A and B are shown apart, each in its own frame.
Chain A
């Protein structure tokens, strides 16, 4: 059987994998990144909305090739569609921003990893861990139909929502039904809408989740929705929710699909540990998605950078023990753990609110002129109009 040796094997070439590979390779580690699909970035499983503030903090240079559309802000729409809150750049800081093309974005990140020195294998699916004397020593994979052993000091699980790597190693990444949002989306063209704003529609249009319109061009957008698993009553209902909305929304009803995207996101609290001897998890595999927005690209890239930097040090020291990898655990937690907890608790509350309450919330916030919109200022604004509503959120402020 073919055997490949390296310091670090990264399983999955999404944003988390490519960022890990890049930063580890930049620091001198010998990196092999494997991807089971024949093309990086395709087919997409994403709404493609990101904010722009974080990109330079993780060393990503904006390239017009992957920016589909710059937006002026976001609209959060009440269940009746009567009220909306506008988050424009002046108010949301740099939190609103781009709708990207993941097909190009993911390739650009993989290119950066390759330029930094990482090797890439496509059509190569990890199938199990290599264990030696009770230690993780790499992964077994099937590459273009042939078995291959990739021996490495550290295995990186960057294998996304469907992650297996962590579970093979005994890290419990399983999700509760209330922490899973299941989604369907069309890239839809011939729609008549405002292409300068991303739109988030709340309420029973998408129970426990939301519906979105993320602009790609003047008459094309990613139109999708996600529903909380526990709110589904029959198989295939998510697609039905989406088709029903589109049929009933005058802006969308003449739209035609260019691409159909299916997928799920985790909306859970942060995991207890994503590192062990000779293995770590990054991105969706480490359940780092924001539980309120369902967005995971930014956190995946941050985690990838933190992991890659620590892996480079570990490769130099020839030590991939958990204590060596703890620095990665500390770094990602410092950056996002509190936020993930706070947003998860807010989500647990939000999913219980009926349309009438969501309507009141959006109405209340739409009527105040906020200098700067953050979760805190939003809650403070709601408190003025509906103090009883905020009671249960109080400890989040």
Chain B
């Protein structure tokens, strides 16, 4: 998954919604861990559309 730093508000909506607990946010850095299975819920939950699939 890819996060657009220009759009992201660091709100944590994706972190709390991730069914795999694969996203971690250390204040301003969003990390996707190995547990990510690309289900795409974070893409949907992000209020500002900051997350996309990595091509």
Contacts and interface: CB of A to CB of B under 8 A. Distances in A.
Interface of A: 36-38, 43, 45, 123, 125, 127, 142, 160-164, 167, 174-175, 177, 180, 182-184, 229, 232, 234-239, 260-264, 266
Interface string B12-55: 11011101010011110000000000000101111111111000
Nearest to B45: A182
Contacts of B16: 160-163, 175, 264, 266
21 contacts: A36-B26, A43-B9, A127-B26, A161-B16, A162-B16, A162-B25, A164-B21, A174-B21, A177-B41, A182-B45, A182-B47, A229-B17, A229-B41, A235-B44, A236-B48, A239-B49, A260-B9, A262-B9, A262-B47, A263-B13, A264-B12
A97 B24 CA distance: 36
B1 to A, nearest CB: 12
Contact of A236 (B12, B17, B19, B47): B47
B45 A264 contact: yes
Nearest to A125: B26
A123 B49 CA distance: 27
Contacts of A167: 21
Given A161-B16, A162-B16, A183 B44 contact: no
Nearest to B26: A125
Contact of A142 (B11, B26, B43, B45): B26
A160 B15 CA distance: 11
Contact of B48 (A123, A160, A163, A262): A262
A262 B7 CA distance: 11
Contacts of B26: 36, 125, 127, 142
**A160, A235, A237: residue with the most chain B Cβ atoms closer than 10 Å:** A235
Contact of B11 (A123, A235, A263, A266): A263
Contacts of A232: 44-45
Contacts of B43: 235
A37 B12 CA distance: 13
B24 to A, nearest CB: 7
Interface residues of B, number: 25
Given A37-B27, A162-B13, A264-B12, 8 more contacts: A164-B15, A182-B17, A232-B45, A235-B43, A236-B47, A262-B11, A262-B13, A262-B48
Contacts of A229: 17, 41, 44-45
Contact of B17 (A127, A180, A261): A180
Contacts of A180: 17, 45
Interface of B: 7, 9, 11-13, 15-17, 19, 21, 24-27, 41, 43-52
B12 to A, nearest CB: 3
Contacts of B44: 229, 232, 235
A183 B48 CA distance: 9
A167 to B, nearest CB: 5
B46 to A, nearest CB: 6
The 3 closest A-B pairs by CB, nearest first: A236-B49, A162-B12, A264-B13
Contacts of B21: 164, 167, 174
B17 A175 contact: yes
B20 to A, nearest CB: 9
Nearest to B9: A262
